[in-house]
A and B are shown apart, each in its own frame.
Chain A
Amino acid sequence: MNIESQLIERSVSGDTDAFGELVLLYDKRIYNYCFRMTNNADDAEDLAQEVFIKVYRNLGSFKGNCKFSTWIYRIAHNTCIDNHRKKRFRLLSLSLQGDEKGEMDIPDKGPSPEEQIVSREQYGLMKECIARLKPEYKSVIILRDIQNYTYQEISDILEIPLGTVKSNISRARALLRDTLKSRLAAYGERRVN
């Protein structure tokens, strides 16, 4: 039995120290998942706490049918999605829908103004673009490109078919690429003016 399984077993028996150690294996990853899903440190902390409390209360029902990491990420994802639904009206009021629909025009060919912009600004815009993706795209980008999960693991965590994982990753990346390009172009124009 590996350490994780031992910690799970001891936690189920009521050993809170063991649960504390189990949390240490996942706290940064789950917090970061929640952070990227919400783009807000306070929300991420509240959600990650909620995730671990759910894990603690339901650990007895973890049947081992999937990997523990899959189970805990699934809880994290569902918790973030529930939070997103609760805040949907606020998000809608920010008028981000144009970005989310993936209908932005690809800018004309020409010199790339983004080449002139320092990397820190690019990263800032990149984070902003990720934050504005709709949840089904954001979750696959976080799991694949930030947390390095395989397509199959993502399919298991999100409980969606492998084909959907492939197409969502592809769409999300294309959307990020096109959105970032147009934002960088706009940013470059503002700098010139």
Chain B
Amino acid sequence: MDCRDFDYYISLYIDKMLDEGDKEKLVNHLKECQRCSEGFRKTQQIVSMINSLESEPLPHDFNDKLLGKIGHGKRIASPHWLRWTGAVAGILVIFFSIKIALDVGVTDKASSTATLTEGMKGEDIADGSELMQMESPGEARDDLEADSAQYDGVEDSVEREGIGDGYDEEMVSKEDSQLNDLPRIQSNEVEIYVEDICITPETLKFIAIDNELELIESGEGFIVIGIHSQKERDILHRELSKLGEVREVGEEMDTDQVKLIIRAAE
């Protein structure tokens, strides 16, 4: 261990982060090495000086300016979880509404033309073969006058949440995932659509380092990773999926480099 290694210990010692064994090594070394002893004293002085640096005063109109900008700015986006909770609730409502319609014996299959039911594509839904044969919620309501009050409430909530659109999106996404249902990255370019603005190329770098993937290059909004095995493709897919929606956009397959591009989710 040379003197430069002791800088690490000196800094940790100042912050009381050094364990007893290393503290003893440091103290013994400082007794013997005048240069490190001087370095220790100077480092303490530096930390003390930085600690005592005065805060810069906030510009006097900082808050007024900010609130002025916000007053004319974009509204806070509704929370991601709230949007999805609404969507899931809407889907459940539709499911149970259809179930009610079945239970009361509605059997007019010829009128099954509702857009929503068509959008569901049957096979994507649990018990899809049964549901494929069902009426639209609107027509079921016509036959369920006795439950109309409850049903109206259901439809209103569906309209408020815009579930029709949300559900269609989910179906499209499911189809995409079926097409790309291979748990590994295959093409040479991947886009990750992230909701969290804190996810940056730095985040990808740390994922690469943590998973022992080769980091080749990084730039504005992207990094390039070296891939040397199928297992690494699996790992990359698994880790990127945690950040957001992964879309393979590259045209070349099974190359030894993959460019990862961060995109903001809509």
Interface, chain A (partner B; CB < 8 A): 11-12, 14, 16, 19-20, 23-24, 27-28, 31-32, 35, 41, 44-45, 48-49, 52-54, 56-61, 63, 71, 74-75, 78, 81, 85, 106, 109, 122-123, 126-127, 130, 141, 144-146, 148, 151, 159-161, 166-167, 169-171, 173-174, 176-177, 180-181
Q: Which of B92-100, B139-147, B163-171, B199-207 contacts A (4 or more CB under 8 A)?
A: B199-207
CB-CB under 8 A for A56 and B73, given A61-B195, A169-B11? yes
Are the CB atoms of B42 and A78 closer together than 8 Å?
A: no
- Distance, CA A45 to CA B81, complexed state (A): 33
Q: Which of B39, B63, B197 contacts A75 (CB 8 A)?
A: B197
Whether B79 lies near A12 (C-beta < 8 A) is yes
On whether the beta carbons of B43 and A174 are closer than 8 Å, the reply is: yes
CA distance A124 to B146 in the complex (A): 82
Task: Taking A52-B66, A63-B80, A71-B198 as given, write out 5 further A-B residue pairs in contact, using a Cβ cutoff of 8 Å, ordered by the A residue number.
Answer: A16-B70, A109-B38, A130-B50, A176-B50, A177-B42
- On chain A, the residues within 8 Å of B149 by CB distance are none
Q: Which of B11, B38, B80 contacts A61 (CB 8 A)?
A: B80
Cβ of B100 to closest chain A Cβ, rounded Å:
34
The docked-state distance in angstroms from the alpha carbon of A16 to that of B75 is: 10
Q: How many residue pairs, one in A and one in B, have C-beta atoms under 8 Å apart?
A: 144
Which one of B53-61, B112-120, B124-132, B234-242 contacts A? B53-61
Is B17 touching A145 in the complex (CB atoms < 8 A)? no
Q: How far is the CA of A128 from the CA of B8 in the complex (A)?
A: 23
- Say which residue of A44, A159, A169 sits within 8 Å of B206 (CB atoms): A159
- B8 adjacent to A166 (CB under 8 Å): yes
Given contact pairs A31-B62, A56-B73, A166 touches B12 in the complex (Cβ within 8 A): yes
User: Cα distance A147–B63 when bound, in Å?
Assistant: 21
CA distance A174 to B14 in the complex (A): 12
Number of interface residues of B (CB under 8 A): 51
- 29 example contacts (A-B, Cβ-Cβ < 8 A) are as follows A12-B79, A16-B67, A27-B62, A48-B62, A49-B66, A52-B66, A52-B70, A53-B69, A53-B73, A56-B73, A58-B76, A60-B79, A61-B195, A74-B198, A75-B198, A123-B49, A123-B53, A130-B50, A141-B50, A159-B202, A166-B8, A166-B17, A169-B11, A170-B12, A173-B47, A174-B10, A174-B39, A176-B50, A181-B42
Q: Is the CB of B12 within 8 A of A176?
A: no
Residues of B within 8 A of A59 (CB): 76
The residue from B47, B56, B63 contacting A23, defined by CB atoms under 8 A apart: B63
B62, B77, B195: which contacts A57 (Cβ < 8 A)? B77
Q: Quick one: closest A residue to B83, CB to CB?
A: A60
Q: Does B31 contact A (CB under 8 A)?
A: no
Given contacts A63-B81, A166-B12, contact A41 B59 (CB under 8 A): yes
Cα–Cα, bound, A166→B198 (Å): 22
Q: Specify which of A14, A54, A159 lies most central, judged by the most chain B CB atoms within 10 Å of its CB.
A: A159
Residues in chain A near residue B105, CB distance under 8 A: none
A181 to B195, CA, bound (A): 46
Q: Which residues of B contact A144 (CB under 8 A)?
A: 15
B10 and A170 form a contact (CB under 8 A):
yes
Q: How far is the CA of A130 from the CA of B65 in the complex (A)?
A: 29
Kindly state the separation between the CA atoms of A54 and B197 in the bound complex, as whole angstroms: 9
Task: Tell whether B51 is near chain A: CB-to-CB under 8 Å.
Answer: yes
Chain B residues, Cβ within 8 Å of A167: 8
Indicate the member of A53, A78, A127, A145 with the most B CB atoms within 10 Å: A145
B7 contacts across to A, CB distance below 8 A: 170-171, 173-174
The one of B34, B46, B59 that contacts A176, using a Cβ cutoff of 8 Å: B46
- A12 B220 Cβ-Cβ under 8 A: no
Asked if B74 is at the interface of the complex by the 8 Å CB criterion, the answer is: yes
Residue on B with the closest CB to A12? B76
Q: A58-B77, A122-B49, A145-B47 are in contact. Are A28 and B66 (CB under 8 A)?
A: no
Closest approach, in angstroms, between the C-beta of A10 and any C-beta of chain B? 11
B43 to A: closest C-beta gap in Å:
5
Q: Is B20 an interface residue (CB 8 A)?
A: no
- Select which of B46, B200, B206 is within 8 A of A177 by beta carbon: B46
